[in-house]
Chain A
Amino acid sequence: MSYVEVTGFAKSYGAHAVFEDISFALAKGEFVTLLGPSGCGKSTLLRCLAGLTPPDAGRIRVNGEDITDAAPQKRGIGMVFQSYALFPNMTVRQNVAFGLKMQKLAADVVARKVAEALDLVELDGKEHAYPAALSGGQRQRVALARSLVVEPRILLLDEPLSALDARIRRTLRQQIRDIQRRLDLTTIFVTHDQEEALTLSDRIFVMDRGRIVQQGSAETVYTRPASEAVARFMGHYNLLGSDESRRLLGREVRGHLAIRPEAIHLFAAADAAPGLIPATVTHSQLLGNVVRYRVEAQGTALHVDRLNRRAADLLPVGAEVALHIDPEDLQEVAP
């Protein structure tokens, strides 16, 4: 039986449905990411799970216990907010100790647990600082320690890294994942950043306009998008309409054909073999380890990613090339 079960969650404000028909199940210790563009309802969903906003319909069970009508205080759910929501009038230690004090634990127990939590997020030495004196990354760690120290059954993270710069974001997300694994903590992570979702998650739930449009492993969601919206959101997919698909690949599709830019093999025209699709390079962009080409083949523009191995292999704009696409890498998506 699943550890967390959500069935039929729905919420609307007036005529506007924020999300509807949300159902999923999580195993104990699973790390799941709710991925979707801003405004798709994922933050509101998180608030409903935490009990901060009442849903219009649906039930949530944790470990077999129905907590749909429980107050947020009684749910055993921890949450890290996008803005951290640290208590500005309290030091780091007081912030972390707050939840333990509410449980009326003895002072020595509180002190020990706070020290452990601060050690876990590598913040020892900052106990007496106020949030205003901390950097963004440090505030984030305090917020994390504060929600971990009360040993929640589920941890909710609402875009916890979005306000940080890229380097700190990468370090911190690895740290969050390590801690989550060590504590075997069932975690729901909300983000609009697909790279974050792909690197962190056991499973990804892609949300679009208030619905979960695909649930699956990072690998599946990335290589086998279930719909056009997922494909658009997951990266730089080439999306071919039915006309283009017929002309270029001789394939009939109902919706769109999605092709990952790195799944297209690109050969210099001299190496061309029969069966390849002739094309012309119209644009090239160096992304570092990858070069992203825009090529035109029979009136269709395609993005092609190619590893940047040697400078000599770089193709100039106007170069005649040939494309090969493995039929396995063609993914038909519903509109």
Chain B
Amino acid sequence: MSAERYHRGVVHLLVVLLALPVLGTLVYSLSERWDATVLPHGLTLHWYTRLWLDERFLLAFWHSLVVCFGTLVLSTLVIVPAVFAIHYYFPRLDRWMNILILLPFAVPPVVSSVGLLSLYADGPLPLVGTPWILLGCYFTIALPFMYRMLSDSLRAIDVRELVDAAHLLGASTPRAFWSVILPGLRKGLLASLFISFSFLLGEFVFANMLVGSRYETLQVYLYNLRNGSGHFTSALVMSYFAVTFALTWLALRFGKREAA
């Protein structure tokens, strides 16, 4: 009994510890002034209204959404058929894919962006400074999440046998994929899309190094405001946090329903 209380205590302490900075930021973003006093002064939504009326913020937010959604569309179009092809036609490649998808984690973005800068600064594909280079970079960030989750979903169903059964009933391979395999992937796909999205929305290093202010995204905007009002950036961080939180919650819900 006391062991259980101890465990609960530890968990609660951890939650408080993790929540404190967020709560602090929240309170800061809602107060008029909080500098020389222990407690904040005046409750206001002023920072939020200023933020959500700021065109530069809205544009950066829009840029982030464009890059994130663009990446997710690209990833879905490439990775879903790839996962199916690997599991159905080349099951042995799965092992190599699992190594391949770890590479983006192995090389820090700061390092790989140096390489990307020299590769795409000029030459046949001068992509640096355009959002297009982010689509490619973000694809490599989304790849591990999407490949793993889709691959797990596929492992849960016997792909080969289901496709064989559909073939014998007269379906072509694309038809079998569309009506039998894809529905089984839907939840895994949605969950992995949500997780990738919240990850990509918070991406800073690639965005700053490769594109910067030429196509300002949310994180770069935040960085550029570092010398401005702390209340204002707190409101920005809280807004960003709310979006990410909502998405993560959705992802978990889909993930849970998948497991059930």
Binding site for B on A (CB under 8 A): 47, 50, 52, 71-73, 75, 77-79, 81, 83, 85, 87-89, 98-99, 102-103, 146-147, 150
What is the CB-to-nearest-CB distance from A9 to chain B, in angstroms, rounded to a whole number?
Answer: 18
What is the CB-to-nearest-CB distance from B110 to chain A, in angstroms, rounded to a whole number?
Answer: 44
Task: Name the 10 nearest CB pairs between A and B, nearest first.
Answer: A102-B170, A99-B169, A89-B183, A85-B165, A85-B161, A72-B167, A73-B170, A52-B164, A87-B180, A79-B168
B230 at the A interface (CB under 8 A): no
Binding site for A on B (CB under 8 A): 157-158, 161-162, 164-172, 175, 179-180, 183-184
Instruction: Provide 17 A-B residue pairs closer than 8 Å at the C-beta atoms, listed in order of the A residue.
Output: A52-B164, A79-B164, A79-B165, A81-B161, A83-B161, A85-B161, A85-B165, A87-B162, A87-B179, A89-B184, A98-B179, A99-B170, A102-B169, A102-B171, A102-B175, A146-B169, A150-B169
What is the CB-to-nearest-CB distance from A100 to chain B, in angstroms, rounded to a whole number?
Answer: 9
Cβ contacts under 8 Å, B158 to chain A: 83, 85
A85 with B164: CB separation less than 8 A? yes
Closest to B175 in A: A102
B171 with A73: CB separation less than 8 A? yes
What is the CB-to-nearest-CB distance from A49 to chain B, in angstroms, rounded to a whole number?
Answer: 11
Closest to B169 in A: A99
B164 with A103: CB separation less than 8 A? no
Q: Which of A71, A72, A75 has its CB near the most chain B CB atoms (within 10 A)? A: A72
Measured CA separation A98–B184 after assembly (Å): 16
Measured CA separation A72–B172 after assembly (Å): 10
Measured CA separation A318–B179 after assembly (Å): 67
Measured CA separation A73–B172 after assembly (Å): 8
- Which among B170, B175, B180 is the interface contact of A89 at CB below 8 angstroms? B180
Cβ contacts under 8 Å, A99 to chain B: 169-170
Q: Which of A50, A71, A85, A98 has its CB near the most chain B CB atoms (within 10 A)? A: A85
Cβ contacts under 8 Å, A88 to chain B: 157, 184
B170 with A147: CB separation less than 8 A? no
Cβ contacts under 8 Å, A72 to chain B: 164, 167-168
Measured CA separation A87–B163 after assembly (Å): 9
Closest to A53 in B: B164
